[in-house]
Chains A and B, each alone.
Chain A
């Protein structure tokens, strides 16, 4: 977003004490209004995810059949009804807040797990010997060709449609994308001068991979991970649409969208608000990650310095 701004991290590093670095980051965040809004929104979402079920768990399941599909923006009602009521007359706002917990847990869990596992395997496959690389790539092929729907049906049939199991399903299906991307990047990076220099200087493989190569491939992976966060939330709602995702009485935003879709023509708000929550969350994540890539840029710059030496 704000590429012209001076990357401050090196300044921060040159200052001996850490607290001012925090301050300068906050100051920078304050300067980029988009990123600021995104950060605030995400803090609100995390707050909802942590405290929502505790504060509003009761209200969110409080049904009123005769007041079903109450239209939104009736401010004479209790504030939880301001976004309208769902098909059972339950307050949508309260349900969205409560559902934030499951939604965030599933998305964050699946993205983190697949990012860590996928990247590690990808680094190993890209940097180490042929044999390991072959095994890992074949594994990725198998996972990639394994139909995720079948995986979901198997796991949810054998176990049960709980949050943890859904994380397993989604994480497994997302591993190959990190694996392939990080391997592809490593294949390119390892040919560069600085890596070869490190090898000549006798740095251990572990050190080369994690200290020299990982930081270079990280920006691409983070871009993908933030977008994947959205993808996973949507995949979760698609599973709900097909009837093989999380099941009521558990709620997630994806499930709410999917349950509300049959009312799209008669009561749009049932699937619109949770859908909006998904869109805003992903959007915020993306804006913030864009900002982070420019603001915390030493990785990028360090990489540039090295390649200048190469010339």
Chain B
């Protein structure tokens, strides 16, 4: 019996060597946290889709490169013709994976498709809601794009639009994405893996990685273990507590900002002193290096520091429970019902350690005299509190949220989060509405200055929310690869940027 067991173990051991070394030297395996439900390029702004599709299979006209700004990709140049019209010059000699040539008609079709009423693509809904786009094909490699209302950052917005061939259906999602990128979509074994292989006819440099396999594991510990065991090469997103190996684990600012959205229309949160007290009561430093990773930054605005118009002059609120208690006492003396129970809504799995973070916040607020009722809910219920219209019978509510803006301009955040009409806005302030409208249409230094003013107004003058952290993420990378995650790693994972050691 014992002999049998040990021979079984020997078989196991030999086969275990097989599954670690099963891939060729220039292939990589990426382990993602959730399976892709859809692979259509028009959904590439979802991070799970984007990490596979964006710039690997489907490319965009322009590309935002961290530290270098907006770069050319499928467009080689652009020019503002005035009145909201921009002219883009397209790269020549580019072919789609199906062999058809890339031209202006494809761009026009891609823009029409993301706004198609029959598929509701995320790119269209997220970046072009309320914007009319009209296109005019000048010649095969020149296209005029007009945005209504006028969009001063149209070239930046084009970094989000994936270009598809002009025969892509307008009314259904594709199951095999076709693009111009360095990799072709080979197959999708649903539930198991997605395989990409190199596009031999790519217009740019030939990348070092020839094949990629994507697999899906929901548990962070498993993802980390897979890279450690050589079953996978990259786990773009693992939890803080699993990032225990400095040889393999890299932290990167992931463009996510955590803030507490206050419903400033409800008592007692409509009182500025109460909102200030909420800010002073939080010991922000205590979270860092404990529940949250070292390298997490304290936030003074909802957008990360790499964003245009980020206001470096703002100081985070210090931890001052005495000041918080004073402010509360003052407000109470003026008849503000500060002891009203405040509902505190958190979303499960919103970020690593979200429950611990919110439990700690609750304790800190209760310490200075707030009456907080923490409720952790799943995403569907959370959205009911986060997005307009808010529940009718609500009491004062704080919603814990994480916002992602890796696109370099605050316009993607400010309207939605602070305008009176903004879907997730808890603020009703006509003055702020006007400031946001001005900044949205401004350009150049003017634009930068206006955004700075807005951040100052929100953070210091009116204290409309509790801004907490700019988060960092962790990637685990097999040492045989040379790959450094960046702020973009949250939304894309360009295989062509990977080389082998």
- Same assembly: yes
* Interface residue ranges of A257-300 to B (CB < 8 Å): 259, 261-267
Complex contacts, A63 vs chain B, CB 8 Å: 359-360, 363
Q: How far is the CB of A262 from chain B (nearest CB, A)?
A: 6
Tell me whether B291 and A249 are in contact (CB under 8 A). no
The closest CB in chain A to the CB of B242 belongs to: A265
Complex contacts, A249 vs chain B, CB 8 Å: 359, 362, 374
Q: What 1/0 flags go to B356-378 for Cβ under 8 Å of A?
A: 10111011000000000011111
Q: How far is the CB of A61 from chain B (nearest CB, A)?
A: 7
One of B241, B362, B381 near A266 (C-beta < 8 A): B241
Complex contacts, A121 vs chain B, CB 8 Å: none
Tell me whether A160 and B375 are in contact (CB under 8 A). yes
* B26 interface hit (Cβ, 8 Å): no
Tell me whether B241 and A248 are in contact (CB under 8 A). no
Q: How far is the CB of A275 from chain B (nearest CB, A)?
A: 16
* A116 interface hit (Cβ, 8 Å): no
Tell me whether A262 and B359 are in contact (CB under 8 A). no
* B239 interface hit (Cβ, 8 Å): yes
* B244 interface hit (Cβ, 8 Å): yes
* A206 interface hit (Cβ, 8 Å): no
Complex contacts, B290 vs chain A, CB 8 Å: 65-66, 68
Given A160-B375, A266-B244: A61 touches B363 (CB 8 Å cut-off): yes
* B431 interface hit (Cβ, 8 Å): no
Q: What 1/0 flags go to A65-87 for Cβ under 8 Å of B?
A: 11010000000000000000001
Given A65-B290, A68-B290, A265-B221: A248 touches B376 (CB 8 Å cut-off): yes
**Interface residue stretch chosen among B142-150, B347-355, B422-430, B483-491:** B347-355
Complex contacts, A66 vs chain B, CB 8 Å: 286, 290
Q: What 1/0 flags go to A140-165 for Cβ under 8 Å of B?
A: 00000000000001000100100000
Tell me whether A264 and B349 are in contact (CB under 8 A). no
Tell me whether A265 and B244 are in contact (CB under 8 A). yes
Given A66-B286, A87-B291, A262-B221: A243 touches B244 (CB 8 Å cut-off): no
The closest CB in chain B to the CB of A264 belongs to: B221
Complex contacts, B356 vs chain A, CB 8 Å: 87-88, 259
Complex contacts, B380 vs chain A, CB 8 Å: 157
Tell me whether A88 and B360 are in contact (CB under 8 A). yes
One of B242, B353, B358, B375 near A87 (C-beta < 8 A): B353
* A128 interface hit (Cβ, 8 Å): no
Q: How far is the CB of B418 from chain A (nearest CB, A)?
A: 29
Q: How far is the CB of B187 from chain A (nearest CB, A)?
A: 30
Alpha-carbon distance between A33 and B277 when the two chains are bound, in angstroms = 59
Q: How far is the CB of A129 from chain B (nearest CB, A)?
A: 44
* A136 interface hit (Cβ, 8 Å): no
Alpha-carbon distance between A267 and B239 when the two chains are bound, in angstroms = 14
Alpha-carbon distance between A266 and B243 when the two chains are bound, in angstroms = 10
Complex contacts, B378 vs chain A, CB 8 Å: 153, 157, 243-244
Q: How far is the CB of B359 from chain A (nearest CB, A)?
A: 5
Tell me whether B348 and A262 are in contact (CB under 8 A). no
Q: Which of B242, B348, B359 gathers the greatest number of chain A CB atoms within 10 Å?
A: B359
Complex contacts, A266 vs chain B, CB 8 Å: 241-242, 244
Alpha-carbon distance between A264 and B287 when the two chains are bound, in angstroms = 21
Tell me whether A68 and B291 are in contact (CB under 8 A). yes
Tell me whether B241 and A263 are in contact (CB under 8 A). yes
Please report the total number of B residues contacting A with Cβ < 8 Å.
Answer: 29
Complex contacts, A247 vs chain B, CB 8 Å: 348, 375-377
Tell me whether A88 and B291 are in contact (CB under 8 A). yes
Alpha-carbon distance between A13 and B352 when the two chains are bound, in angstroms = 61
Tell me whether B291 and A262 are in contact (CB under 8 A). no
Complex contacts, B242 vs chain A, CB 8 Å: 262, 265-266
Complex contacts, B348 vs chain A, CB 8 Å: 243, 247
Complex contacts, B358 vs chain A, CB 8 Å: 248
Q: How far is the CB of A118 from chain B (nearest CB, A)?
A: 29
Q: How far is the CB of B360 from chain A (nearest CB, A)?
A: 6
Complex contacts, B239 vs chain A, CB 8 Å: 262
The closest CB in chain B to the CB of A259 belongs to: B355
Tell me whether B221 and A248 are in contact (CB under 8 A). no
Tell me whether A157 and B349 are in contact (CB under 8 A). no
Complex contacts, A265 vs chain B, CB 8 Å: 221, 241-242, 244
Complex contacts, B283 vs chain A, CB 8 Å: 65
Tell me whether A65 and B360 are in contact (CB under 8 A). yes
Alpha-carbon distance between A87 and B220 when the two chains are bound, in angstroms = 17
Complex contacts, B244 vs chain A, CB 8 Å: 265-266
* Interface residue ranges of A45-79 to B (CB < 8 Å): 61, 63, 65-66, 68
Alpha-carbon distance between A262 and B238 when the two chains are bound, in angstroms = 11
Tell me whether A243 and B349 are in contact (CB under 8 A). yes
Alpha-carbon distance between A65 and B353 when the two chains are bound, in angstroms = 13
Alpha-carbon distance between A5 and B352 when the two chains are bound, in angstroms = 56
Q: How far is the CB of B162 from chain A (nearest CB, A)?
A: 32
Q: How far is the CB of A41 from chain B (nearest CB, A)?
A: 30
Q: How far is the CB of B361 from chain A (nearest CB, A)?
A: 11
Alpha-carbon distance between A75 and B295 when the two chains are bound, in angstroms = 34
Q: How far is the CB of B247 from chain A (nearest CB, A)?
A: 16
The closest CB in chain B to the CB of A246 belongs to: B376
The closest CB in chain B to the CB of A153 belongs to: B378
Given A66-B290, A68-B290: A248 touches B363 (CB 8 Å cut-off): no
Alpha-carbon distance between A249 and B291 when the two chains are bound, in angstroms = 17
One of B220, B362, B376, B381 near A262 (C-beta < 8 A): B220
Complex contacts, B381 vs chain A, CB 8 Å: 157
Q: How far is the CB of A293 from chain B (nearest CB, A)?
A: 34
The closest CB in chain B to the CB of A89 belongs to: B290
The closest CB in chain A to the CB of B378 belongs to: A243
Q: How far is the CB of A115 from chain B (nearest CB, A)?
A: 30
Q: How far is the CB of A168 from chain B (nearest CB, A)?
A: 18
* Interface residue ranges of B256-292 to A (CB < 8 Å): 283, 286-287, 290-291
Alpha-carbon distance between A256 and B376 when the two chains are bound, in angstroms = 15
Alpha-carbon distance between A63 and B366 when the two chains are bound, in angstroms = 12
* Interface residue ranges of B401-438 to A (CB < 8 Å): none
Closest 3 CB pairs of A and B: A247-B376, A243-B348, A65-B286
Query: What 13 new A-B contacts, CB under 8 Å, besides A63-B359, A157-B380?
Result: A63-B360, A87-B291, A87-B353, A88-B291, A247-B376, A248-B374, A249-B374, A259-B355, A259-B356, A262-B239, A262-B242, A265-B241, A266-B242
A-B contact pairs, 12 of them (CB 8 A): A65-B286, A66-B290, A87-B356, A88-B359, A88-B363, A248-B359, A262-B242, A262-B352, A263-B241, A266-B242, A266-B244, A267-B241
